[in-house]
Structure 1
Amino acid sequence: MYWNGGGWAWMTFMPLLWIVLIGLVVWAVFRLTRHQGDGRGGGGTAQGWTPGGPPRETPEEILDRRFAAGEIDAGAYRDAREHLASYRPGPK
């Protein structure tokens, strides 16, 4: 009726079960809510949009922003635009 002294096993097993269960819930929440376009090779689309986050900047947009902020001069900007254009598929 009372499993003849097997209560000590349940007293050891149940806390471990709860620790594992809570750990799995925390891991699942973290995994499901984590930003997908964090640069580790997953998530995102060809346009740079990532679910749950702002759109990623294209290299040209980054270059334009740096030029507008004065981080690079006109010559470096022009050279970088030409360099980026040489790697873009399609008409030039």
Structure 2
Amino acid sequence: MMDLYGGAGWMMIGMAGFWLLVIGVLAWAIVWVFPRQPRVGEDPRQILDRRFASGEIDEATYRASVDVLNVPHRR
């Protein structure tokens, strides 16, 4: 007995899998090349607060960064 479409069924499934893989890799590459930008209008302290609140940075890093932000910079 012949299988699906005379054996071409597996080739069709393989092609579909290949294209899904290609699309997935392209989507990953786009996200990697163009990372998410900070929100417009956020100052550095707001960005730091948001990152700390979300758990992206720990308390030591947060406090060190706040200290750096509070030091007046010389030009």
Q: What TM-score range do you get, normalising by the shorter chain?
A: 0.3 to 0.5
TM-score (normalizing by structure 2): 0.41
TM-score (normalizing by structure 1): 0.34
Q: Which structure: larger Rg? A: 1
